[in-house]
Structure 1
Amino acid sequence: MDLIEGVGESSSPPRSFGSFNNYDVRNDVFNRLVETGHEEAISNPDFRSHLDSHFSRLPARQEIAHIPIHEVIFSTTDRPKLLSQLSALLSDIGLNIREAHVFSTTDGYSLDVFVVDGWPVEDTDGLYKAMEKAVTRCKGSLSGSLHSNSAMDDASATQEKSGDWEVDRRLLKIGERIASGSCGDLYHGIYLGQDVAVKILRSEHLNDALEYEFAQEVAILQEVQHKNVVGFIGACTKSPHLCIVTEYMPGGSLYDYLHKNHNVLKLSQLLKFAIDVCKGMEYLHQNHIIHRDLKTANLLMDTDSVVKVADFGVARFQNQGGVMTAETGTYRWMAPEVINHQPYDQKADVFSFAIVLWELVTAKVPYDTMTPLQAALGVRQGLRPDLPENAHPKLLDLMQRCWEADPDKRPSFSEITAELETLFEEVKEEAVNGN
């Protein structure tokens, strides 16, 4: 995983500290008004001075500063506390971290990508040399290669790269708590006038492992955009105030809809929910993402009852080797190969979907007479939920194929989606014909 060492260039306009001498937004405004044929700008000789006076009355925060943004990539062998070491290294040379993306492989390599500001000039040669010296000072604790370049070509690219998703905590209004987890809480909030969900990590629980998971979740959320995957709005990445902001899903989770509200689904509604889940998961798998914790509590509904896959706290990019290890997920929905600490791939999510489908059919909690650990031990030995009576035979057949012990025998989500859509059309046709 070597990276070619090199530098890039930034085309963002140079900053003029405390003045508009080198770059003046007023020139742009005036020139554009003239170009578009604005009558007063063309005919009134005092218009430019009035424009200058207007900008002079604006508070200092309205001045547009053009800050060079750089991307720094470290390629090295993975090790404990690597993320915090690299973050400290960048801070030591005066850089402010705007984004952090961490990618690891099961064969022991790590790719750490940082988007930073704080280097006051466009020249990246000096930045590269400063980082080389900083790495040398670490006395061999860091090895590998690094690559520094500008991440932006212009102001719009700057907004796309970091400004679009780095949330200003001061503009984020936190409302009522929606849910709680072991390391954080989920709140209803308002950001820039929009209803949002805010996942806040508790500062007292922050450690390297949790910050790593946070960076992974942010990295994944940035890469996904699908109508059946919860929408990413932004994140606060400055420790200890770490949070992730996503679209607000007022319909709540499928778990609450089924088990707390005691809803029993009609077949057509059940199929619609199941198809939504499958389309979201098919999209994730096409982008080499394994969710690893698919369950009804992580399936949320919007105002139109569209179901979206959520919570990527333990999701991972699948490496080229195609397999992953380590026990991750929730026992009642967990595949046997994951419980057994065996290598696993995307088919582990298919097993979890089988349990979700069983929930949709029965409106019951899987293995509700067992503790989670008892359920896990049972699944290892071949235990599966009891097949529901009076369920559609095609759903029962699909369910059993999805929870096969052998992952290779389980269908893919694209195959499952096709089957469910065919069944959905059959059910609609039967309803029209009065059968």
Structure 2
Amino acid sequence: MAAEDAIAAPGRDRGERAKAGSPGKRRNKLDVFNAVLTHLSSSDSVALSSQFEDSLWAHFNRLPVSYAMDFTVERPEDALTHIQLLEAARDSANRPTFSVRVVQVPRVIDGNTPKYEQNANLEGLEFKNEEDTVHPRLMYEIVFSVDDKPKVLSQLTSVLGDLGLNIQEAHAYSTNDGLSLIVFAAIGWLDEEVDHLKQALNSKIGRIKEPEMKDAEQVPTSPHVKVPTDETSVWEINYNLLSFGDIVASGSSGNLYKGSYCSQEVAIKVLKVEGVNANALREFAHEVYIMRKIRHKNVVKFIGACTRPMLCIVTEFMSGGSIYDYLHKENDFFKMPALLQVAIDVSKGMNYLHQNNVIHRDLKTANILMDENNVVKVGDFGVARVKSQSGVMTAETGTYRYMAPEVIEHKIYDHKADVFSFGILLWELLTGKIPYDDMTPVQAAVGVVQKGLRPTIPKEINSKLVELIENCWQQDPSLRPDFSQILEDLHAITKEVNSEERKIKSPGKFFSFRRNRN
């Protein structure tokens, strides 16, 4: 869905919304919103108001496009149920919240063998269990609202299995505020009373809890680290539930695939077989630990990992691609307000990481990704580390064109190394150029250390933005600002740019902000 729709939809009048959702277009959130609103308008059970329309739109907009694509508009009341569940789940003491309803019941055809009456929500669902045709059982739709954390889906699956339920479908949708809406279709509950199933779920549901995190000092660092393979591991997911699509990126250590996990679009990072040695296992364990530790709207979300039959790390799929590809492969640019928003999103993610004692160590445009709504997130934690108490960490980690001089020189470094990289990244956003593109990476590294080399900042750039970039890439790390200060500076610059209502021009080109690819 386009970014404009995400912002402007609630304020449109009915005519404009109807036009936006007209036939012939690929269905999106706005189309589904319009259809649901139309169905609810014809119902006497819902009192519509402008406030209700806004809350309904906010509901669809907090969930991914896949939720709208899967939604059955002929059952608009499902949206009301989902809104209530998510609202109740705002209070952590209520989680998980859930609802249960019958979606399929047996009916008699000509007095003969009972058949299933299919609910529209489950069209196309096929049963291959012959026993069910002869001895039909009720089908239930069970919807949970839970914390959006790894392993919760498999924990809920286990709970339903313990109750004798046979799951026919499962769909998981993550909200943009840290919750998850998970929808199951299941058969196998022999008692026809829905209330009895609710009571049974209540008795089991307390087990859905997130284990305590280990202290940073307990992160494995031995070259002989053993990767946990225990089925109770909080992040281990079932490899058989992964579906692999196309390769979207490839590197020396492995490939990145677009895929799916329980109907959810994901990115699957697979370590190459020949690269799985003691060092690779250690790196894998570190990356999983780091990603398990962090959860922020501007950091790519960790979903889980596999240790068998191969090493995989599963994260949310970022359909917008990387900032690097946007700038250098699509040859696109940002208007200044959009550029500043990208910088703010990156800074929020990095500020969160630093507050949690995590140093990224490879901050660059290739590791800054955009989702379907153009929200920017920091990704790829393959070389990230929890800050060492001694300050001693591996030198020359990251990418030379973005690397801080103290890292190149094998000196003790801290989170200010990421600030240096951010300064280079911000310059790249402004110019659309690769840093030191007339040099090899090694030549650039030598120039940065020995000559204080930095990229040339165009004269047309806002003076406060120039000052911020220069502060970020100071040779002395102690002179560089923290990301909390960077955020303050960026907000002040944004306010100034907006108040002046003018566009800042890059050499020869204006920055422009693209619409979403969908």
* Normalised-by-shorter TM-score class: 0.5 to 0.7
Are residue 405 (structure 1) and residue 475 (structure 2) matched?
Answer: yes
Query: Structure 2 residue aligned with 1:194, among 264, 289, 292?
Result: 264
Matching of residues 339-418 of structure 1 within 5 Å: 339-381=408-450, 382-418=452-488
Cα deviation, residue 321, structure 1: 3.3
Partner of 1:182: 252
Are residue 83 (structure 1) and residue 225 (structure 2) matched?
Answer: yes
| Counterpart Cα distance in 1 of 2:321 and 2:244 | 18
Instruction: Report the 3-state secondary structure (helix = DSSP H, G, I; strand = E; otherwise coil) of the residue aligned with 1:97.
Output: coil
Which whole-Å deviations, capped at 9, do the CAs of 1:215-262 have from their partners, x for residues lacking one?
111111111111100011111023x50001101111100001111111
Cα deviation, residue 265, structure 1: 1.8
Partner of 1:218: 288
Amino acid at match of 2:468: L
Please tell me whether the aligned partners of residues 249 and 256 of structure 2 are also in contact (alpha carbons under 8 angstroms): yes
Q: CA RMSD in A?
A: 3.1
Which whole-Å deviations, capped at 9, do the CAs of 1:186-226 have from their partners, x for residues lacking one?
11001111111111111111111111111111111111111
Query: Structure 2 residue aligned with 1:331, among 379, 394, 400?
Result: 400
Partner of 1:419: 489
- Name the % identity: 54
| Counterpart Cα distance in 2 of 1:76 and 1:197 | 28
Residues 266, 169 of structure 1: CA spacing in aligned structure 2 closer, same or farther, 3 A cutoff? same
TM-score calculated relative to the size of structure 2: 0.55
| Counterpart Cα distance in 1 of 2:219 and 2:429 | 44
Partner of 1:158: none
| Counterpart Cα distance in 2 of 1:276 and 1:72 | 26
Structure 2: segments with no counterpart, 5+ residues: 1-161, 165-188, 193-203, 504-518
| Counterpart Cα distance in 1 of 2:267 and 2:219 | 35
| Counterpart Cα distance in 2 of 1:235 and 1:352 | 28
Matching of residues 1-400 of structure 1 within 5 Å: 25=163, 51=191, 81-84=223-226, 97-98=230-231, 162=234, 165-238=235-308, 241-381=310-450, 382-400=452-470
Which whole-Å deviations, capped at 9, do the CAs of 1:72-92 have from their partners, x for residues lacking one?
9999998854314xx6xx9xx
Please tell me whether the aligned partners of residues 167 and 235 of structure 1 are also in contact (alpha carbons under 8 angstroms): yes
| Counterpart Cα distance in 2 of 1:370 and 1:344 | 25
| Counterpart Cα distance in 1 of 2:344 and 2:219 | 40
Residues 427, 219 of structure 1: CA spacing in aligned structure 2 closer, same or farther, 3 A cutoff? same
Length, aligned pairs only = 304
| Counterpart Cα distance in 1 of 2:337 and 2:446 | 34
| Counterpart Cα distance in 1 of 2:387 and 2:495 | 34
| Counterpart Cα distance in 1 of 2:219 and 2:299 | 32
Instruction: Report the 3-state secondary structure (helix = DSSP H, G, I; strand = E; otherwise coil) of the residue aligned with 2:429.
Output: helix
| Counterpart Cα distance in 2 of 1:227 and 1:243 | 23
Please tell me whether the aligned partners of residues 293 and 330 of structure 1 are also in contact (alpha carbons under 8 angstroms): yes
Please tell me whether the aligned partners of residues 325 and 344 of structure 1 are also in contact (alpha carbons under 8 angstroms): no
Please tell me whether the aligned partners of residues 251 and 300 of structure 1 are also in contact (alpha carbons under 8 angstroms): yes
| Counterpart Cα distance in 1 of 2:239 and 2:378 | 25
Residues 190, 405 of structure 1: CA spacing in aligned structure 2 closer, same or farther, 3 A cutoff? same
| Counterpart Cα distance in 1 of 2:255 and 2:263 | 21
